[in-house]
Amino acid sequence: MKRAARQKDFDSFRRKYQHFSFSDYRYSVKNNGIELKFLFEIPGLCTFEPTMFFRQPGLGLFDTTNTEMLDNFAFHIGMTELISYWKTTCSPNVHITKHSLDSEQINWWKKLYFNGLGEFFYLNSINTDIHNFMNITSEGTEIKPVGIDTDKSRILVPVGGGKDSAVTLEVLKLLSGYSLVPFAVNPREAVVRTIEISGYTMENSLVVLRTLDKNMLDLNTKGFLNGHTPFSALLAFVSSFTAALTGTGYIALSNENSANESTVPGTKINHQYSKSFEFEQDFYSYLKKHITPDIHYFSFLRPLNELQIASLFARFKQHHLSFRSCNVGSKTDSWCGKCPKCLFTAIIFSPFLKQEEIRAIFRKDIFSDRQLKPVLDELTGTAEIKPFECVGTPDEVNIALNKTFGKTAALPPLLHNYPVKTAGIDDAFDRLLHNIHNEHNVPEELLIHLKKVLNA
C-alpha cells in the first residue's frame, strides 16, 4: 500500500512544489584543503546547503591557481549533488543560475538523472518518462573546458572497501612505471584497511568528506520522497576534480562488465546504472568536451566479469578477512550474512575458496541458512527481478554454484532444491574465466598487464 501511495505523493509534491533551483556554489581554499558549498532551494519548503571538503594530501599541494578549473568542477559537482535533494519533491521545473547549459548538455543531464533514478522510480511505483519528469532551464555565463597539466604515470584509484578496488590496487601496483594514489569519499573502516593492507597510507591518500544537509534528512523522516541515487556519477565528477587538483592523468575505477546488466529484465532500470559502461562512455565524453580533455577516466576491471574478479581476489589472502561489501552491515563494519550482497559474495568466491575460508569471512555457514532461499531465487534468475544491489548476473551465479556443488554428494541446506547441473559446466566456467570483454576504455599497456596477471 505504501508503494502504491507514492505515485499520489509524487503528483501532489510536484503540484505544490513546482520549482527547484541550483542557486549558487562557493569554494574556499584552506591550508588543509578546499571546501565546496552548494545552495539549492525548493521555494515554499526549504533550502539546502550541502558541503564537500577535499583534504590536502601529504604527498603534495593542490593546484589552486587555475580559477577557471575550480569554477568548472565546482559547478558540475553541484549539478550532480542536486539530484539527492531534488528527489524529495521531484519538482517539475529545475532552474540553474550562474552558468548556462546548452541543449546538448541539458539532455545529457536529464539522461543521467532519469536513468540514475530508475530504481527510485520503480520502487516508489512512480510512473513517469524522460520527457516529462523534469524541465531544466539555465542562465548565466557559459562555462568552458580548461587545459590541465597532468601526468599519465599517476593513477588515482577510488577505494570502496570491497573486493573490486582491492583487486585494482593489488594488480596495478605490480606494474612498474606507474604510481598509485588511493582515493575515498567518507572513508569507512574497510576502506582504510584496504588502503593500508595494499601498502599505502591514509595521509598520502586523497580523501573527500561529503556532508549531507540535515534539512533533506528531516524531509526523509517526514514522508517526502526518498530512494537510490546515482552515487557513482557523483564519484566520477569528484574524483576527476581531485585528479585535476593533483595533476593525476588517469582515474582507474573498479566497475566490471557485469554491471551493465539491468536489474529489471527487459528495461533500462539498473541499480548499477552509473557503474555501467554506458555511463562511463557518456561521462568520459562530457568530461573531455565540457570540463577538461586532460584526464582519462576508465574502469580498469571493465573487461572482466565477476568470476574473473573473484579468481583474482582469491589470490590476495591478506584482504580476505578485512574487506566489506555488505551495505546492511556498513555502519558496524560487518557482514550481516542475510542480504543479497552477502550471499552473492559467498557464491562468487565458492569456486576459488574452501568452504571453511568462506565461513571465516562471514562468520557463519551461509549455505546452511534456508531463510536465504528467496534471495537465492533472485540471484539465480528464478525470481522475476534481480536484487537491487551490486551483484553479478544470474549466469555467473549459476555457473559458480554448479562448479562448486555439481559433484557434491550432499548439497547444503540452502541448495536442497537447487537444480544442479554438471553437463557443460566446466566448459562454461572456463569460458567465463578466460573471456575478455572488448567494450572498455582501459589504456593498452594497462590492459596487457591485466590480461597477464589474470592468466598467470
Domain presence at residue 307: no
Say whether pLDDT at 217 is over 50.
Answer: yes
363 in a domain, yes or no?
A: yes
Mean pLDDT, range 358-373, rounded to an integer: 97
The two most distant CA atoms of the chain are separated, in Å, by 70
Same domain, 134 and 235: yes
User: Do 240 and 280 fall within a single domain?
Assistant: yes
* Whether 112 and 235 share a structural domain: yes
Does the pLDDT at position 5 exceed 70?
Answer: no
3-state secondary structure of 454: helix
CA pair distance 288, 72, nearest whole angstrom: 12
d(Cα 312, Cα 454) in Å, to the nearest integer?
7
Average model confidence (pLDDT) across the chain? 95
Reply yes or no on whether the pLDDT at 168 is more than 80.
yes
Looking at residue 202, the DSSP 8-state letter turns out to be S
Region class of 146: left (phi > 0), else alpha (psi between -120 and 50), else beta: beta
Domain end position, chosen among 299, 314, 342? 299
Nearest to 425 by CA among 326, 362, 354, 351: 351
306-346: pLDDT as tens digits? 999 999 999 999 999 999 999 999 999 999 999 999 999 99
Residues 130 and 260 in one domain: yes
Q: What is the pLDDT of residues 378-427, one digit of tens each?
A: 999 999 999 999 999 999 999 999 999 988 878 999 999 999 988 999 99
Phi, psi of 53 (to 5 degrees): -125, 125
Q: How far is CA 187 from the centre of its chain?
A: 14
Q: In the beta sheet, which residues pair with residue 53?
A: 35, 209
Residue 199 domain-assigned?
no
Burial profile 45-60: b = 16 or more Cβ within 10 angstroms, e = fewer: bbebebebbbbbbeee
Same domain? For 388 and 290 the reply is no
Residue 2 has pLDDT above 80, yes or no: no
Q: Is residue 181 part of a domain?
A: no
Q: What local confidence, expressed as pLDDT, does residue 62 receive?
A: 92
Query: Residue 386 has what pLDDT?
Result: 94
Both 117 and 258 in a single domain?
yes
- Whether residue 174 is contained in a domain is answered as no
Which residue bears the cell 565524453? 285
Which of 42, 2, 44 lies closest to 19, judged by CA?
42
Please, is 123 exposed, middle or buried when counting C-beta atoms within 10 Å of its C-beta (0-12, 13-18, 19+)?
middle
DSSP 10-54: HHHHHHH--EEEEEEEEEEEETTEEEEEEEEEETTTEEE--EEEE
Closest CA relative to residue 86, chosen from 226, 189, 208 = 226
pLDDT per position as a tens digit, 37-93: 999 999 999 999 999 999 998 877 898 999 999 999 999 999 999 999 999 999 999
Residue 135 sits in the same domain as residue 240: yes
Instruction: With respect to residue 16, please indicate whether it lies within any of the assigned structural domains.
Output: yes
- Asked whether residue 1 carries a pLDDT value surpassing 60, the answer given is no
Q: Is 205 left (phi over 0), alpha (psi -120 to 50) or beta?
A: beta
Q: Pull the grid cell for residue 64.
A: 589552486
Segments forming the whole domain that contains residue 421: 324-434
Q: Does residue 375 share a domain with residue 264?
A: no
Beta bridge partners of 15: none
Q: Provide the number of structural domains found in the chain.
A: 2
SS3 state at 252: strand
The x, y and z cell numbers of residue 256, run together, are 566490471
Assess whether 384 and 267 both reside in one domain.
Answer: no
Q: Which of 222, 16, 8 is nearest to 127 (CA)?
A: 8
Predicted confidence band of residue 445 (pLDDT cuts 50, 70, 90): very high
Give the phi and the psi of residue 180 in degrees, each rounded to 5.
-100, 145
Amino acid at position 358, single letter: I
Cell output for 407: 559433484
Over residues 362-378, the mean pLDDT reads: 97
> Average pLDDT in the 257-286 region?
95
pLDDT over 60 (residue 450): yes
Distance of CA 161 to the CA centre of its chain: 12
Residues 264 and 329 in one domain: no
User: Could you tell me if residue 452 is inside a domain?
Assistant: no
Burial of 173 (0-12, 13-18, 19+ CB in 10 A): middle
What is the pLDDT, as a whole number, of residue 408?
82
At residue 365, the pLDDT reads 96
Q: Which helix (H) or strand (E) holds 154?
A: strand 151-158
Q: What is the pLDDT of residues 11-41, one digit of tens each?
A: 999 999 999 999 999 999 988 999 999 999 9
Q: Residue 67: what pLDDT?
A: 94
Query: Which residue(s) pair with 207 in the sheet?
Result: 184
pLDDT in tens, 174-200: 999 999 999 999 999 999 999 999 999
User: If you search the block for the grid coordinates 566490471, which residue do you land on?
Assistant: 256
- Shared-domain flag, residues 272 and 395: no
Cross-strand bridge partners of residue 93: 19, 135
What Å distances lie between residue 164 and 258, 307, 425, CA to CA? 12, 11, 25
Among 283, 299, 315, identify where a domain stops: 299
Query: Are 64 and 131 within one domain?
Result: yes
C-alpha cell at 391: 551483484
**Does residue 153 lie within any of the structural domains?**
no
Residue 182 has φ and ψ, to the nearest 5°, of -65, 150
